[in-house]
Amino acid sequence: MATEMMALDKIKDCLSNGHDFVLQGGAGCGKTETLKQLIDYISTEYPYKKIACITHTNKAADEISSRVEGGHVVSTIHSFLNGLIKDYKKNIHQVIYELFKVNSMVRLELEAYADEKEQRTKEHDKYKKVYEKYSARYYIVFGNRTEKVEGKKLYDTNPVEFNRILNEKILEINNKIKLEIEQKGFKSIEYNETRFNDFKKLTFGHDGLLDIAALLFDEFKLLGKILNDKFDYIFIDEYQDTHEKIVDIFLTKLPLHNKPVIGLFGDSMQSIYGDGIGNVNHFVGNGVLKRIDKEDNFRCSPQVIKFINTLRNDGLNQALALKTMESADTREGTVEFNYSIHDNKPNAWSSDVEKEAYTSALNTLIELSAFEGEAKILLLSNKAVAVKAGFPNLYKVFSDRYLEPKEEFTKILTRLQLLDLFEICNAYEAKNYNFVLSKLKKSGLSIKTLADKENISASLQSIISSNKGAVDTVENAFALKLLKRSETFSEYKNRAEKYLELINSDGEYLVFEADYLNDGHTLPKMQKKKPEIDEDTFRDQERNLKQKQFFEALFSDKVTFLEVLNYFKYEDEQTPYITMHKTKGTGIDNVLVVLDEYFWNEYDFCAAFNQNEENLLKKEKNLQLIYVACSRAKFNLRCVRLVSSDEEAIFAKAFEHHHFKKVNIEN
């Protein structure tokens, strides 16, 4: 309680002095409770002052709203920004072109790369991405499909010329976009409350709203004055997950005169989402923000607290804090590290046989390390979990195409509106009918009578029980008016159909495919069949084959909607397994954390504990993910890993004050 009051008192000092601040607190420290107490304090002491409290989720907004009085604004960032800018459609009309334009291809010179080979590879990769965006926008604007993007071998013959031609096409379509925006006028412009922007209707989604708001604050200084006049204090919960351009608005774009005090609440160590600002160290360093540490931990056992403190890199050191009527002896727990030696660990390019043998050994270690009672297992997404959680085909389709499929899962399933459909179906199964009706009304479905509701129920039951392919099920949802087709869906489906049409009419590719599938799946084997084929051509055609197989499987019955439902339920922590990428939340009594990368090149958990690791960005990224996972444990934390002989000493040092146990997995 002493540190609680000290943190709150420091915040009160900032309010008195008009100084912006950041409350930095680890997992389970009660940051949100402090925020509620602060709002109560202001409401009592300064009842005429106006507060805006911005949260990351609707659930958090509802929780805080239930505790505060006085007519203050408590909402998500999207609701807050939309309420601020929605009446300024003429101004939005002047900047909305930036949302729909295609950015030009900009070539970096050789000095920006390690060597010429890296330059050729990365420049062509960049060219393909720009061309893909151009192609998607071209389809929406003109209704026609573009030609297939040039392969690397052809592109490398004259990259400057190919860039010039593409940029001319981009200039042409951007001029068309600008003209259409001018002709449409401003009256139809609005926030559509979906994940997608819509050029034809001139509406914008969640991410588009953030972009529009940032553009307006840059372009029209009066908007900052209007915001200043509305509020005396603006508090942002979970600041680390708030987009950098939004944090920048509140800290640098508001006029100094009559500016509200800005307060940020969160924890940079829990920044594991790529679209958040992460930390605000530069604002603390230049004096814009005063940092206030909150070192309480009301969640974890002292043993877990001691361990997770070693993971922090910001100087904050948490201490055991007891809730009312709680005693210290009821919070006791354990921290263990169970391991077995396994040298020559496979990587992403290793054979399936090597990967299967390694995974089998790891699964044995996990089984031998399991808690006797109820527990959750936290780990990176992998094939074994996909099987147990009920989405094996979905995982295989993505892992066959991408070395690190997790990054693509949600991105592509969201584009295809499968996340939207899951949210509606999941809410229906949970009998959260208000959420369902709210979503369906936004899709334009008329709901006036009992018969309408019965029809909706029948439609959703048919969707949930569907054994059809996932994309076919989404198409069915469009037909039943459970979803409104987005431009993003149309763009992606068109891209797949155009790709398959072109690749299946490419004679050179079809010969390669036949040879590749007939025991020619490596360059040396292919060169025995066709000595003239070079590495660049082989890699290009191999990527074409994997892309073709991916699109064919994704749009077929191989990926069922049931598997998509199971995947998102796994993501939503509705299974015994929890992905480490989505583990922020309430405490769990017993947690088993699998510290294995599952052949992801993006992660290296050993680097997090290696005191000699030179790549500090890599070290920080891995530390943050491990911290978020381990800090979920309320009482008992058990980490497991197959370690190499070289790693054993590193992990022994990391867990030197805890149980460090070598497990025999041979028997």
SS3 275: coil
Question: DSSP secondary structure string, 231-243?
Answer: -SEEEEESGGGS-
Same domain, 70 and 103: no
Same domain, 598 and 549: no
CATH code assigned at 349? 3.40.50
Is 171 part of a structural domain of the chain? Answer: yes
Domain with 621, as residue range(s), is 297-380+580-666
Same domain, 79 and 108: no
Q: Over the stretch 240-261, which tens digit does the pLDDT of each residue have?
A: 999 999 999 999 999 999 999 9
Q: Give Rg (Cα) of the chain.
A: 27
Out of 294, 310, 333, pick the residue that ends a domain. Answer: 294
Nearest-angstrom CA–CA distance, 104 and 163: 9
Same domain, 415 and 487: yes
Same domain, 279 and 336: no
Average pLDDT for the chain: 92
Same domain, 612 and 640: yes
Is 312 part of a structural domain of the chain? Answer: yes
Kindly provide the b/e burial profile for residues 633-649, where b requires at least 16 CB atoms within 10 angstroms of the residue's own CB. Answer: bbbbbbbbbbbeeebee
Is 590 part of a structural domain of the chain? Answer: yes
Out of 253, 273, 294, pick the residue that ends a domain. Answer: 294
Same domain, 288 and 312: no
Same domain, 84 and 227: yes
> What is the predicted pLDDT for the residue at 529?
84
Flag residues of the chain having pLDDT under 70. 1-5, 70, 582-585, 667
Residue 6 CA, distance from chain mean position: 34
> What is the predicted pLDDT for the residue at 2?
46
Of 408, 422, 423, 430, the C-alpha closest to 466 is 422
Is 332 part of a structural domain of the chain? Answer: yes
Out of 531, 563, 595, pick the residue that ends a domain. Answer: 563
Distances (CA, A) of 597 to 61, 370, 500, 594, 603: 35, 19, 33, 9, 6
3-state secondary structure 380-445: CCCHHHHHHHCCHHHHHHHHHHCCCCHHHHHHHHHHCCHHHHHHHHHHHHCCCHHHHHHHHHHCCC
Is 123 part of a structural domain of the chain? Answer: yes
Same domain, 251 and 168: no
Is 337 part of a structural domain of the chain? Answer: yes
pTM exceeds 0.85, yes or no: yes
In the structure encoding, which two tokens stand for residue 83, read together? 């309420």
> What is the predicted pLDDT for the residue at 1?
45
For the chain, what is the domain count?
Answer: 4
> What is the predicted pLDDT for the residue at 71?
77
Same domain, 617 and 514: no
CATH code assigned at 248? 3.40.50.300
Residue type for 228, please? Answer: N
Is 206 part of a structural domain of the chain? Answer: no
Same domain, 288 and 310: no
Same domain, 547 and 423: yes
In the structure encoding, which two tokens stand for residue 590, read together? 């017993």
Is 389 part of a structural domain of the chain? Answer: no
